Structure 1
């Protein structure tokens, strides 16, 4: 972490007091390589190093997610250009590196050092000094209901009067989220870009995109605290309209300071769909609302072992899901369900696969809350919020997510409309049913709710559809794509069969718990699962031609042709033993051979063997993936191999971003993000494993160096 005067970068014991404290950056040497991400109630913010907004996002009843950002909308003619998609995803990171301002207060002097603190999921605090002995503290928060607040306090420490020029930057464009994918499954055309600014009265601003049907409005530069100082503001005299570009608008402020005095300014925004502008449950913009949090101490030490790296990872990844990835969706019947996004920037879509593993962290955090959270009111706030989200997501995936072809599609916008075309991914059909089984395990008192979901008939329809897909000759199930969203060479994919078997056995148990023997279809499910396991072991167990060892092939056609490969996305293969898919000594040995192959250079297409941070990756994106590091760490933990656990944990630590979250892929020579800085799945898996190790007393291995 060269160039970051960062308490987090201490490479000594994990018990050092660095984590969960403000992160210090020397901006002359290195700027943050990741935005500051906070949110609440479906409104997400990504901020630069000075608390300015590089992206605000919120729910739209037609478009799913709409965003306000200082750069132009995605080029709708380039959905099938993966390099452009990658570059567009990096726009915010480029803005940070080039010191280009986001929405909010901009100062006309250089800042060399900044301390950034994210004490809560919805609050970020930025402290830095300007020339002339002026100290600045900016607190940004998303308050209950989704309003965005920026509090800016400037203090003059000198015994003489001084002045300061700054600007409220309103260079912003209202766009639909691009939903651009590296493996594009069918783009949704973008609305036209047309941004209109008007000043409704002094300090009250309004930005609309009528083509999009979205509005950003509020008040800027409002003086909240004035200690005998003076200000002057140059308000725009004309409205502004631009197409295919952001607004070009800055509102100059001149601040005058008496000796030893301070000024506090406030910006407040509301970002909503046009038709809901005045229906948002929030505080009146003319009132103070719930703004007394400004200036309070948010370091309430809710989490146990607050300053260890393991807790920092847990807290930040749980908070990222709660703040930025969960979006309440109100249906026409006024029922509220919850969509969970894979991330709020690169792909703000719902994916059954990713959602399942995100929920796994929430379930484990809820179950083991006494090991993770202090026994105070905020602990109960966390666990009640988690319960609300996991229940709301089941409602969304079974009632809101559309299945026009009978099966769940690859991904969804949060309205429940499929994002991609009719591509059948076998694993995506399993995760919602597994999620339902898990829910009853963690919340056994909610038996009536689970029974109500079952009686919707969706589970039976999906199981019937799956049975219809089975190839009678081989006893296997085809898939159009792998869990990496890549087309298959041969139709049958190993880890998807492990997952399907696991789902069927869990569903069988669920039926037995909820229904009497005369009502249940568990016998048929059990027979199907047994037959599936037999066919899978028979068709996928082969001898690797170079290694001379039995292992499970990656793909097969059921006619003797196979591919040997293992991918960071193939998490079910990792769990084949713990789920009891493999049980005999020979089967377990074959599984070990498969994992050893996958996590080694012998896996030529999947393993990146470049030091010092080699690891399992994916043909989907080059380089080691954090999911690969997770597999290495979890596999070592399964074998109780503490040396391999430490090695894998070292790679995991190298891949952690400064805010405790993880990217998709990393550069093997630096450990830094090389693909998708915003990606909730890896951090969720690592966090859930940390919870498991803490509950088993094995976390001590991660706390040693």
Structure 2
């Protein structure tokens, strides 16, 4: 796809629902509607994640205030807070268009009185840098100016349901100008950034107002259009354990099939975003997988699992892609987990826990990811450590340790948790989706029990017992007949609710936990998408939501699509696909939530999980 075609198929700047993103597994950047640089960021071995941006600092007094956190997140999407912008006179803002070409590169087309400008950005392989090129055709006398107003800082981590806020950190970056290069150094972060300009003429100067700019003649000359190339690099300190190895992985191409309601575009966008911006190299052959690269560059085992599964689904025979999952498993079971301790709610890119809350389901996803890797690739990944032990033996030891420490309670051995998968406090200790996930994990590990030396865990019998125990413990009367409760205490008390975060319940028939025509599952899902469920949102674009954040959740839409596919309801599936295609960004990515009446994005403009789940549904695989 040419740049012109990509821009023509894109959106006007005013209609763009989210910034466009670009990364190469080492650094990740975001661009505004006119191509302005909003951020460039990278994992940091001490401070989690650092970025250069023009956004205001997050006021520490806003911690614990969801409205303030959402307001700040909104600022991060706005062009007015760009750290670098190309300014041209008398721009026709309504005519600015943005799109993504077939290689996943963001492209823009800008016009104004006497000029037009084509913009392309790309990520050089295996460099901690992003490049953007402007090609300007202009009448004589038209001048262009690059204006810089950025700073280096630690990512704010503006969480809605925060448990352990980061300690305040004062950063005072310094800017130095050296001809064509602008350098920013933050000694508190031991991090350096460089903005290098390649243009026919000009240099960085300080303007009378104290700002920094590069001005040059943009008018057409004998040599034709003027080209300005900007390279922004970001260099945090070196990671322990060795240099980056094989960081850049090209997203696999998938068939573009118009018969699947746009899921091919969403799957493609998710793959590019994961491999470029969330599955980031942290040295020593390890990769973290973050929930996003701007708002919350943290790792939840839950979010990371579905991203890793999409990589396995999309390219099971592409070693470069499956090696990303291998590198994540090494990180997850190595730096991402201290021996003898559970995984916490979230972890920093270097593996340290961030939010010190324990969720039962997040102890299961790492084991499930490992089983999926073995099933898809036919081999065990290289385990963390010195590698002196046979991989299957070492993985068996690690799994056994986690399995023995699972929070089982009651005579049925169900898993209890103080927080549910929405990161909210549990009202009753046992969550339905966690028990279904528990069964699924046991069932997926069971075929490798002897190979792993885990026969003493009786995984197959555990799975069989859970398939019997869960319906008994969770069945209660609902508005559409007997159904499964959202939570129970195992002593006859039940909570009727269903949340967009609880994918395992919707996936239960696809995974094989119950049949496609199981009456209790059907009643549970009917309840979930009805006014009887407080998690349901009504409206023209209504659907399943969450108490966590208002609006229709795209994860809820993914659940509805799974239910429609399971029940053979083609009209319902088509309706979900039509709605999600309308909501999706030009790059195929999805928000956390959108307005139930208008379809406009409400929360988390950066969020890898929903598009990853739709990508998995595109491939017809959910891990079973």
Using the size of structure 1 for normalisation, the TM-score is 0.80
Matched, 1:408 2:343: yes
Q: Indicate which of 150, 154, 159 corresponds to 2:136.
A: 154
Cα distance, 1:80–1:234 mapped onto 2, change above 3 Å: closer
Partner in structure 2 of residue 204 of structure 1: 181
* Greater Rg by CA: 1
Partner in structure 1 of residue 491 of structure 2: 559
Q: Distance in 1 between matches of 2:577 and 2:515?
A: 28
Deviates more, 1:636-645 or 1:653-662: 653-662
Q: Indicate which of 507, 520, 524 corresponds to 1:594.
A: 524
Root-mean-square deviation over aligned CA pairs: 3.0
Q: Indicate which of 80, 83, 95 corresponds to 2:64.
A: 80
Tell me, what secondary structure is at the counterpart of 1:497?
helix
Tell me, what secondary structure is at the counterpart of 2:142?
strand
Kindly provide the CA deviation profile for residues 8-63 of structure 1, in whole angstroms up to 9, marking residues without a partner as x: xxxxxxxxxx9966444445xx3422101111132111001222210111121111
Q: Indicate which of 301, 304, 307 corresponds to 2:255.
A: 304
Name stretches of at least 5 consecutive residues in structure 1 with no aligned partner: 1-6, 8-17, 241-246, 283-289, 291-297, 370-382, 694-705
Give the count of matched residue pairs. Answer: 605
Partner in structure 2 of residue 219 of structure 1: 196
Cα distance, 1:280–1:527 mapped onto 2, change above 3 Å: closer
Q: Any conservation in 1 of the 2:21–2:30 contact (CA below 8 Å)?
A: yes
Matched, 1:268 2:195: no
Partner in structure 2 of residue 541 of structure 1: 475
Alpha-carbon offset, residue 405 of structure 1:
6.3
Q: Distance in 1 between matches of 2:257 and 2:88?
A: 34
Q: Distance in 2 between matches of 1:251 and 1:138?
A: 17
Matched, 1:398 2:336: no
Kindly provide the CA deviation profile for residues 331-390 of structure 1, in whole angstroms up to 9, marking residues without a partner as x: xxxx211111111112111111011111222121114x8xxxxxxxxxxxxx34311211
Q: Distance in 2 between matches of 1:626 and 1:319?
A: 19
Q: Distance in 2 between matches of 1:389 and 1:184?
A: 29
Partner in structure 2 of residue 700 of structure 1: none
Alignment of 1:178-327 (within 5 A): 178-199=156-177, 201-220=178-197, 222-223=198-199, 226=200, 231-233=201-203, 235-236=205-206, 248-258=211-221, 261-274=224-237, 303-305=254-256, 309-327=262-280
Cα distance, 1:48–1:179 mapped onto 2, change above 3 Å: same
Partner in structure 2 of residue 45 of structure 1: 29
Tell me, what secondary structure is at the counterpart of 1:137?
strand
Cα distance, 1:307–1:631 mapped onto 2, change above 3 Å: closer
Partner in structure 2 of residue 15 of structure 1: none
Cα distance, 1:556–1:19 mapped onto 2, change above 3 Å: farther
Kindly provide the CA deviation profile for residues 462-511 of structure 1, in whole angstroms up to 9, marking residues without a partner as x: 11101xx3224453221011100000111111110111111112222221
Kindly provide the CA deviation profile for residues 573-607 of structure 1, in whole angstroms up to 9, marking residues without a partner as x: 1122232323597xx2111111111122221x110
Cα distance, 1:111–1:260 mapped onto 2, change above 3 Å: farther
Q: Any conservation in 1 of the 2:89–2:112 contact (CA below 8 Å)?
A: no
Kindly provide the CA deviation profile for residues 605-649 of structure 1, in whole angstroms up to 9, marking residues without a partner as x: 110112x11101001111211111111111111112111111222
Q: Any conservation in 1 of the 2:265–2:588 contact (CA below 8 Å)?
A: yes
Q: Indicate which of 681, 684, 692 corresponds to 2:609.
A: 681
Cα distance, 1:681–1:453 mapped onto 2, change above 3 Å: farther
Cα distance, 1:393–1:26 mapped onto 2, change above 3 Å: closer
Alpha-carbon offset, residue 395 of structure 1:
0.9
Partner in structure 2 of residue 115 of structure 1: 97
Q: Distance in 2 between matches of 1:454 and 1:71?
A: 49
Q: Distance in 1 between matches of 2:10 and 2:367?
A: 44
Matched, 1:61 2:61: no
Kindly provide the CA deviation profile for residues 173-196 of structure 1, in whole angstroms up to 9, marking residues without a partner as x: 111112221110211113213121
Q: Distance in 2 between matches of 1:206 and 1:624?
A: 43
Q: Distance in 2 between matches of 1:620 and 1:313?
A: 24
Partner in structure 1 of residue 512 of structure 2: 580
Q: Distance in 1 between matches of 2:614 and 2:5?
A: 17
Cα distance, 1:445–1:408 mapped onto 2, change above 3 Å: closer
Alpha-carbon offset, residue 534 of structure 1:
3.3
Partner in structure 1 of residue 143 of structure 2: 165
Alpha-carbon offset, residue 197 of structure 1:
0.8
Q: Any conservation in 1 of the 2:180–2:203 contact (CA below 8 Å)?
A: no
Q: Indicate which of 592, 601, 604 corresponds to 1:664.
A: 592
Matched, 1:177 2:155: yes
Q: Any conservation in 1 of the 2:145–2:213 contact (CA below 8 Å)?
A: yes
Alignment of 1:621-700 (within 5 A): 621-692=549-620
Alpha-carbon offset, residue 131 of structure 1:
1.4
Q: Any conservation in 2 of the 1:362–1:386 contact (CA below 8 Å)?
A: yes
Q: Any conservation in 2 of the 1:19–1:306 contact (CA below 8 Å)?
A: no
Q: Distance in 2 between matches of 1:447 and 1:164?
A: 57
Q: Any conservation in 1 of the 2:12–2:98 contact (CA below 8 Å)?
A: no
Partner in structure 2 of residue 349 of structure 1: 298
Using the size of structure 2 for normalisation, the TM-score is 0.90
Alpha-carbon offset, residue 117 of structure 1:
3.3
Q: Indicate which of 439, 442, 455 corresponds to 1:504.
A: 442
Q: Any conservation in 2 of the 1:104–1:267 contact (CA below 8 Å)?
A: no
Q: Any conservation in 2 of the 1:103–1:170 contact (CA below 8 Å)?
A: yes
Alpha-carbon offset, residue 266 of structure 1:
2.0
Q: Indicate which of 323, 336, 339 corresponds to 1:388.
A: 323
Tell me, what secondary structure is at the counterpart of 2:434?
helix
Q: Distance in 1 between matches of 2:243 and 2:383?
A: 29
Name stretches of at least 5 consecutive residues in structure 2 with no aligned partner: 385-389
Cα distance, 1:163–1:458 mapped onto 2, change above 3 Å: same
Kindly provide the CA deviation profile for residues 493-552 of structure 1, in whole angstroms up to 9, marking residues without a partner as x: 11101111111122222214x25xxx44266223333333433222211112xx261111
Partner in structure 2 of residue 140 of structure 1: 121
Q: Distance in 1 between matches of 2:116 and 2:314?
A: 39
Q: Distance in 2 between matches of 1:479 and 1:554?
A: 13
Q: Distance in 2 between matches of 1:131 and 1:683?
A: 39
Cα distance, 1:261–1:270 mapped onto 2, change above 3 Å: same
Q: Distance in 2 between matches of 1:66 and 1:53?
A: 15
Q: Distance in 2 between matches of 1:310 and 1:536?
A: 33
Matched, 1:606 2:535: yes
